[in-house]
Amino acid sequence: MNDRYLFRGKRIDNREMVIGDLSIHNDENKHMIYPHNDPYMDGVDVIPESIGQCTGFKDKNGKLIFEGDILQDCDDGCYEILWNDKKLWWSVCYSKNQNIIPALSDVICSGIFYEEIIGNIHDNPELLKEV
């Protein structure tokens, strides 16, 4: 199984995050995730705005990094993971209104940062600073 094809979203019923395969039913305007931890479970309705794809990268603890995650570096800086449509790569954004956004792969592979997931923009937006 390729981690890059995993999605995560907040369940509509209890607001907990669920990870699995994404299914969009446009005719019913439903977004569902079929959890990988229970292959016999039916799809779960999720909040469309909370859906994020797995980047394929892991933090220092081996936890998969998803779009919308907030990571903290060794200097206590926090940044959001997002998809850069212009560059077509996963990026890090150090503030809510930053213009220059480096590639996630460059940041992780540089060895300068020691990243750890500390939350996500859906549950912990206050972790990102406004600059």
* Residue 7 shares a structural domain with residue 71: no
Query: Residue 85 is part of which domain span?
Result: 54-127
Phi/psi of residue 42, each to 5°?
Answer: -70, 165
Q: How many structural domains are present in the chain?
A: 2
Q: Residues 64, 123: one domain?
A: yes
Buried b (16+ CB within 10 A) or exposed e, 48-65: eebbbbbbebebeeeebb
* Predicted model pTM: 0.83
Edge-to-edge strand list for the sheet holding 69-72: 89-93, 78-84, 69-72, 116-120
Q: CATH no. for residue 96?
A: 2.30.30.290
Q: Does 94 share its domain with 37?
A: no
Q: What is the mean pLDDT of each run of 10 residues along the chain (131 residues)?
A: 79 93 80 82 90 90 92 82 85 66 64 76 83 44
